[in-house]
Amino acid sequence: MKVRTVKLKETHNSNGVSSFCSILWDLKAQHLVTASASDSSISIHDLSQPSKPPKILRHHKDGVTALALSPNSTCLASGSIDHSVKLYRFPGGEFQTNITRFTLPIRALAFNKSGSMLAAAGDDEGIKLINTIDGSIARVLKGHKGPVTGLAFDPISEYLASVDSMGTVIFWELSSGKILHTLKGVAPDLDSETSVLNMLSWSPDGDILAVPGLKNDVVMYDRDTAEKLFTLRGDHGQSICFLTWSPNGKYIATSGLDRQVLIWDVDRREDIDRQKFDDKVCCMAWKPNNNALAVIDDMGKYGMLEPAVPLSMKSPTDGAPNLHAKNSNGLLLFDEDEQELSVSGSLSDASEGSLGESEPVSRKRLKKQSILEDEDIDNGDQVASPPKIESRKRAHSHKECLEDNIKGFSGISSARPKMQEAFQPGSTAVQVGKRRFLCYNMLGSITTTENEGYSHIEVDFHDTGRGPRVPSMTDYFGFTMASLNESGSVFANPCKGEKNMSTLMYRPFGSWANNSEWSMRFEAEEVKAVALGTGWVAAITSLNFLRIFTEGGLQKHVLSLNGPVVTASGFKDELAVVTHASDCLPSNDQMLEFRVFNISNGVQPHSGRLPLSPGSCLTWFGFSEEGQLSCYDSKGVLRVYTNQYGGSWIPLFSASKEKKSEENYWVVGLNASKLFCIICKHPDSFPQVMPKPVLTLLDLSFPLASSDLGAMDLENEFILSNLHLSQIQKKIDEMVVAGLDTTSLDDEAFNVEAALDRCILRLIAACCNGDKLVRAVELVKLLSLEKSVKGAIKLVSALKLPILAERFNSILEERLLKETMGAPAISNSTSGAAFKNIEAHALPMTTRNRASEPVNPLPQSKLSSPPITKQEKLQEGIKIGQKIESNKTSLPPPKLPSPASNQEKSEEKSRVREKPEPSKTVAVGNKTEGIDQLPFNRPTNPFAKTSSNQEKGSLLDSIKKMKKVESGGKK
């Protein structure tokens, strides 16, 4: 084998001291990044401009011992002897944040496949898993008994492998944080070596973990069973101190304490090239797009081994998987694992020749590899095993083909669709160096920004005249979530520090006591969501505990929830919590459920599944200004919970029908008719703190089908008004039960009902113009006010629709007849949607099957008689009215429908207060006299709490007087 000379160039001055150095490529092979444990700086070399000096990053106070670059090469992480882990933008090198700190020097860093998680470890033996989106610590893994020197996420992001200086390798399951396998003493003990570290590396397909062995070799372990598959043994005279796979997984490069670098053909299990160096090579990196290997020695000199693989052999980049990341920002909210199926232990393994054997497929593969290993040990350098390796590769290709056909089937997916992480409504993602929102709601906002290891928190109110002036706060806890209401604010942080503690803190805005602020600490339990209400504070933790505290800090309740929390929100006495009901569906649909707790009464009034659009996740959850529970998903659909049909979620807004393609809506809150949001320009999905966000009001609207009437706006207004009326009625019912005054709500309900009638009249006009006469008849029955019915008659008469006018007259006559017959007082319930036989009026409600007094309904033939016949009836009523007039009985004339005036409403309220007299009915033959001449005053508020007889005074008094007039005439 021909020995070449590789020129190395000094990039870090080691002052003659051997120290560990790092080197890595970016995704496009345009930059090299180097660092040294003897130098506090990091060098970024731009290879497109070789003459240009490297960019130097000087942010650490001591030597840099570890480097890691996110898969899409937009975020650089560095660890140091100064105990800190820092993040930078790449390739610019702008400092972003101190993402975490340890108590001892850092030795290893690694990003997962999507860049959403960073693993960090060092001399203090623990491994931190850090969410790069917000800097929170997702988990701390403890199991090593010595300094952790090597970390590697498997390409499927299912496992994490780690090795320490004592040679122990541990397989961790990321989803649970549990130790799957521990291999003690399988790697060299390099505790005495300061310039080299134990390393390990996954093959690009994730099947094999390569670890330096005890016999100057490389040992390959199975990803599922952690059992030895085979070894690579060659000409290394001392222990291997670094190894790395080629991009296509066909080759592996190793460096040893013997100052040699060997290139191995993994399939043939032999070294195909080697290179001698003057000093130990402590780190290497394959060029992503070419046949080259970058190396750096323990004296801080780096160079290029090119070509790394003999030109007569297959290139190390041929057949390499596409490493380009989907997202360009480097910091993701969710793990984008591409839903790849497992390459071991799944249904796809059954295709490798399961001819009736019942032995588990992963064991069969293990058995084959064990045989190969034995042959390798017994026969030395014999080449009997490579054909079987090739067979295994062919089987893997077949598995990949099969997986493409069965992708999406949950039973065989090792990387299941990821359940949504917990979030705080109204919070924004971490942006290094920038202020972000911990909370933004209809009342105000809480913002934070990091500054030299601590944070600065400010509380602001939208209406500075209403909210109290709250001084800013220095945050030494690193709070990542908050909630705000009129009384105070609550903060919480993830587990931090050596004791793995999470902190909850409440700050009231005003109190008679000097020290009313309080905090709680949770050991080995992390706060995931917080909420505030009237006199209570709630925190939901990683143990699925709902902890409820009083405003003064008394621990009042601890409840167990059914699953991991997603989010929570509070409004007055009610707390709403969303949790996972089960794992995600194969279609990536989140399975969520909600529960509403009434804290003051200790009851749970509502619970059930939380509906989401297919394939979406929950992005906002809370209450409207009126107290209606609401949610908004990532597909832009807003839903509100109502009591209709026993409790249902109704869609009140769809962003797909509103927004432009370059806009995203970030929801803040809503009221009965408007959605309050901040419009963000694509690709931003959340607002910046500065400049101050501008609230946009959008009209709520049902996702209605395209109607043949062409009046979608009117139909939408009709449904919204009905919904609003039902919500008001619910509040009135609750206040009546509580014995509270409902006057203000009565007025509001009356106004909504009048507006609803006006909407229905416009719909009737549209039906008449569109020749939808049956629909017009259905609509006139839904009018609440009798003046509105008369207005509808006048409308269709003007449109020259006599048949429709006749039907409207019939409906009016039938209604007047039932009113005249008298009935028990109306109930306090109404939907505002229909006559319900005067249910929505202050006039008595008629019960159809009334047994106490006989009712002679108008014959059907009378109802359909021509208008001239009705005119005769009206004349008869006028004569009776003239008799009443002669007896000095003044009755106001009927009026056309118009919005209820304040004077009319006050008249109705005064009539409600009048003392009633017994109800009497005058019947003449099959006709009821005294109808048309009777006043058609606007009815009182249908929601008023009244006695059964108070609402009949005006009509019944007139009937009594009529009887007296008639009896006096007979005498």
The pLDDT tens digits of the residues spanning 253-282 come to 999 999 999 999 999 999 999 899 999 999
Report helix, strand or coil for 11: coil
Instruction: Please provide the size of the chain in residues.
Output: 971
Give yes or no: residues 648 and 739 share one domain.
no
> Within this chain, do residues 715 and 689 fall inside the same structural domain, yes or no?
no
Mean pLDDT of 116-134: 90
Edge-to-edge strand list for the sheet holding 260-265: 240-245, 251-256, 260-265, 270-276
pLDDT, residue 404, reads: 40
Strand partners of residue 242: 255
Residue 86 lies inside a defined structural domain of this protein: yes
Tell me whether residue 372 is in a domain. Answer: no
Predicted confidence at residue 785, as pLDDT, reads: 86
Which of 127-131, 613-617, 743-747 shows the lowest mean pLDDT across its residues? 743-747
Q: Are residues 496 and 593 in the same domain?
A: yes
Closest CA to 420 of 565, 530, 546: 565
The answer on pLDDT for 159 being more than 60 is yes
Higher pLDDT: 498 or 664? It is 664
780-786 mean pLDDT:
89
Query: Given this model, what pLDDT does residue 588 score?
Result: 82
Flag whether 336 is in a domain. no
DSSP code, position 214:
T
Determine what percent of the chain is predicted with pLDDT higher than 90.
Answer: 46
- Spatial CB neighbours of 692, under 8 Å, sequence gap ≥ 6: none
Q: pLDDT tens, 929-969?
A: 333 333 434 344 433 434 334 343 444 455 455 555 555 55
Highest mean pLDDT among 446-455, 581-590, 597-606, 856-865: 597-606
In terms of domains, do 583 and 724 share one? no
Per-residue confidence band for 660, with pLDDT thresholds at 50, 70 and 90: low
If one counts the domains in the chain, the total is 3
User: Which tens digit of pLDDT belongs to each residue from 50-83?
Assistant: 888 899 999 999 999 999 999 999 999 999 999 9
Q: Are residues 581 and 730 in the same domain?
A: no
Would residue 844 count as lying in a domain? no
pLDDT value of residue 963: 52
Query: 214 and 187 in contact (C-beta within 8 Å)?
Result: yes
Query: Which one, of 772, 779, 645, lies nearest residue 715 by Cα?
Result: 779
Q: Is residue 496 part of a domain?
A: yes
Question: Which whole number is the average pLDDT over 102-116?
Answer: 92
Query: Is 519 domain-assigned?
Result: yes
**Coil, strand or helix at 76:** strand
Above 70 in pLDDT, residue 366? no
> For residue 285, how many other CB atoms are within 10 A of its CB?
22
Would 68 be classed as within a structural domain? Answer: yes
How much is the average pLDDT of 222-233? 92
Q: Are residues 695 and 715 in the same domain?
A: no
Residue 101 lies in a domain: yes
For position 891, what pLDDT does the model report?
A: 35
- Let me know whether 745 and 689 are in one domain: no
Q: Are residues 694 and 721 in the same domain?
A: no
Beta carbons within 10 angstroms of residue 676's beta carbon? 17
Q: Is the pLDDT reported for residue 317 higher than 50? A: yes
What's the whole-number mean pLDDT along residues 536-546? 95
Given this model, what pLDDT does residue 737 score? 87
We report the CATH number of the domain holding residue 580 as 2.130.10.120
Choice between 51 and 163, residue whose per-residue pLDDT is larger: 163
pLDDT at residue 765 greater than cutoff 70:
yes
pLDDT tens digits, one per residue of 284-303: 999 999 999 999 999 999 99
Q: What is the mean pLDDT of residues 462-466?
A: 77
Report which of 420, 363, 368, 837 is spatially closest to residue 618, judged by C-alpha positions. 420
Task: Read off the pLDDT band of 762 (50, 70, 90).
Answer: very high
Domain boundary among 754, 782, 815: 815
pLDDT of residue 337: 39
State the pLDDT at residue 911.
40
Measured distance CA(793)–CA(807) in Å, rounded: 9
Predicted pLDDT of residue 841: 36
According to DSSP, the β-strands at 137-142 and 179-183 are unpaired
Total Cβ atoms within 10 A of residue 312: 6
Residue 676 sits in the same domain as residue 724: no
pLDDT range class, residue 640, cuts 50, 70, 90 = very high
pLDDT band per the 50, 70, 90 thresholds, residue 745: confident
**What tokens does 231 get?**
């070894």
Indicate if the pLDDT at residue 923 is higher than 70: no
State which H helix or E strand residue 39 sits in. strand 39-46
pLDDT confidence band for 685 (50 / 70 / 90): confident
How confident is the model at residue 967, as a pLDDT?
Answer: 55
**What is the structure's pLDDT at 497?**
60
Residue range 478-491: average pLDDT?
Answer: 92
The predicted pLDDT at position 386 comes to 39
- pLDDT tens-digit readout, 392-416: 333 343 334 334 433 333 333 344 5
Looking at residue 749, its pLDDT comes to 87
Query: pTM for the full model?
Result: 0.48
Count the Cβ atoms, other than its own, within 10 Å of residue 871. 10
Q: Which of 305, 338, 364 represents a domain boundary (last residue)? A: 305
The per-residue pLDDT for 707 is: 82
Q: Give the HSE-up count for residue 52: Cα atoms under 13 Å, Cβ half-sphere.
A: 11
With a cut of 90, say whether residue 340 has pLDDT above it. Answer: no
- The pLDDT value recorded for residue 960 is 53
Please report the pLDDT score of residue 953 as a whole number.
Answer: 42
Q: Do residues 722 and 775 both lie within one domain?
A: yes
pLDDT at 367: 38
| 501 shares its domain with 646 | yes
Q: Using the predicted structure, report yes or no on whether residue 364 has a pLDDT greater than 50.
A: no
Instruction: Tell whether the model's pLDDT for residue 901 goes beyond 70.
Output: no
Per the model's pLDDT, the better-predicted residue between 223 and 829 turns out to be 223
Give which of 331, 212, 253, 283 is closest to 64, Cα–Cα.
Answer: 283
Q: Are 671 and 651 in contact (CB under 8 A)?
A: no
Last residue of a domain, one of 305, 320, 345: 305
Region 818-845 average pLDDT: 44
Domain that holds residue 475: 435-699
Q: Which of 697, 13, 621 is nearest to 301 (CA)?
A: 13
Q: State the pLDDT at residue 767.
A: 92
Name the average pLDDT for the chain: 77
Cβ-Cβ contacts under 8 Å for 46 (sequence gap 6 or more): 30, 31, 52, 54, 55, 91
Beta bridge partners of 34: 23, 43
- Report H helices in 887-945: 902-913
CATH of the domain at 25: 2.130.10.10
Residues 665 and 795 occupy one common structural domain: no
Residue 843 has pLDDT above 50, yes or no: no
